[in-house]
Chains A and B, each alone.
Chain A
């Protein structure tokens, strides 16, 4: 991993930002692109940056930082199993139109100590404040039940996570957080949002995009399976015939 940032860069940026009367966030990410290759088993991203204060130095009581990394939104159908006639089967389901495929929030202190519930839900800070847009017409209890199920399922898969002390702030100016991405995340454009929070208010927001994409052989296979279905199927059949034949020939001499 490369060094989070150089002090030279902060020194260069600081004079430019002095003119503003509000603090500004200067965020960066250890990688702008994540490539999914054959050996991909998840990734760790370092989200870091600097808080540029108007006077060029941190106030006596430093502000807090929350970092959110979210994946592309996918409409999903969540099914619930129930025991019917001694058998567990899918009995009920609920739609979520805007569930993020990945969501991770890290903050310098627990979210509930930083902002009130209303602000947290406006900025979708914390997994319980995600706006999942459940299907209309559902009873609120049922909706909550399914939401809890989705959050639990994805939390245990490592797709939704919260780390209440995951952001480290150095000298009130430099911040850093490490986010772990599991291997089963979908491809797409991810956004990293950084919030500067002071006395319960969001004082600055900055956003960066990260591209997660399959690359090389994995990408070719994935595209081939989608675009050239017939040729892909033929390739699979040819591979199995070829390997079966090769083994038969290789072993015939030993028998």
Chain B
């Protein structure tokens, strides 16, 4: 069944988009990620203009993180103060990101930058996760007598103006979470990803937040930053396709629930291994896209 997307200006197979949303939703429910890093490249491979793909994937992330954030909120797994500070940073990041987006668009390098950032980030995160998962599954020997990481990062501790974050039990400068939120905001605008898989390690390793509040806080932050980014896209690039986002969401929100059910019945280390492999696979596909001769040498930009 074909349906016409008013903003993308082309017709797509509606069933395919719902299934795509569902598949990504299952993964996002299983791994607690927004899934934008899968949606955006897949939409681009399908032939949706990259700008529309990025903007509409952002809208989908909001919907995918609602139920997770709700569950964690009820269980007290959200450091609200921390989430607000990070959201402010994220909002500033998305505004700056939008300016960078426009600049890159006018020089014609937006596609390369998007692909290149994807390859870098996915390759880096995927490798770390793969290593962790293999160690946890006893496939690879862990490095002997690993030094216990200090609870507080030296750079973060040296920042001025300290606040108390009671839920996290931290006394640190709000500049650090603000900066993390800022980076996530830029990525959300440029890449159409929530950045959950970057924020979570940053909160654990840089801020030293307890695991109890990390996932919930990151989900709350992804939720509000992706919502803000949808607004930024609607106001600046005007490329949010509500029909496309709706199709992705219908599949996505249902898929996320099934994913959450599946996650309860699977070994968490196997889950991490699977996610690491998926991330590396997407990164590798992007790398091929950069290095191989593309199908289309020419591309059209409307003036």
Interface residues of chain A, those whose CB is within 8 Å of chain B, are 36-42, 74-81, 83, 86-90, 93, 95, 146, 149-150, 152-153, 183-184, 186, 214, 217-219, 221-222, 225-226, 229-230, 232-237, 239-241, 243-248, 250-251, 255
Contacts and interface: CB of A to CB of B under 8 A. Distances in A.
A88 to B, nearest CB: 5
B6 A233 contact: no
Given A89-B109, A229-B234, A247-B67, A38 B299 contact: no
Nearest to A145: B298
B175 to A, nearest CB: 28
A230 B232 CA distance: 9
Contacts of B292: 88
A142 to B, nearest CB: 13
Nearest to B111: A90
22 contacts: A38-B243, A40-B11, A41-B11, A42-B11, A74-B302, A76-B303, A77-B108, A77-B300, A77-B301, A77-B302, A80-B298, A183-B11, A186-B9, A222-B6, A225-B6, A232-B234, A233-B231, A233-B235, A239-B249, A240-B66, A241-B63, A255-B261
Nearest to A81: B297
Contacts of A244: 62-67, 249, 253, 256
Interface in B9-38: 9-11
B299 A78 contact: yes
Instruction: Give the most central of A80, A225, A232, A236: most B CB within 10 Å.
Output: A236
B10 to A, nearest CB: 4
Contacts, number: 181
B256 to A, nearest CB: 7
Contacts of B111: 90
A88 B60 CA distance: 30
Interface string B59-89: 1101111110011000000000000000000
A32 B66 CA distance: 47
B2 interface: yes
Nearest to A233: B234
B249 A79 contact: no
Given A78-B298, A234-B231, A236-B240, A88 B7 contact: no
Contacts of B67: 244-245, 247-248, 251
Interface of B is mostly: helix
A95 B2 CA distance: 34
B39 interface: no
A89 B66 contact: no
A179 to B, nearest CB: 18
Nearest to A186: B9
A140 to B, nearest CB: 18
Given A87-B116, A221-B7, 9 more contacts: A38-B243, A77-B300, A79-B300, A88-B291, A219-B6, A225-B238, A236-B234, A237-B230, A240-B63
Nearest to A223: B6
Instruction: Give the most central of B10, B67, B256: most A CB within 10 Å.
Output: B67
Given A88-B291, A244-B62, A233 B4 contact: no
Given A229-B234, A240-B59, A248 B299 contact: no
Contacts of A41: 2, 4, 11
A88 B288 CA distance: 10
B40 interface: no
A230 B109 contact: no
Interface residues of B, number: 55
A146 B66 CA distance: 48
A103 B86 CA distance: 51
B296 interface: yes
B202 interface: no
Instruction: Give the most central of B59, B246, B253, B301: most A CB within 10 Å.
Output: B253
Nearest to A99: B300
A80 B256 contact: no
A237 B250 contact: no
* Top 4 A-B pairs, shortest CB-CB distance: A244-B66, A233-B234, A248-B67, A247-B253
B253 A246 contact: yes
Contacts of B233: 233
B4 A87 contact: no
B3 interface: yes
A221 B4 CA distance: 12
Contacts of B116: 87
B262 interface: no
Nearest to A232: B234
Contact of B62 (A38, A80, A221, A240): A240
B112 interface: yes
B227 interface: yes
A201 to B, nearest CB: 36
Contacts of B240: 225, 232-233, 236
Contacts of A219: 6
B290 to A, nearest CB: 5
Interface string B212-242: 0000000000000001001101110010101
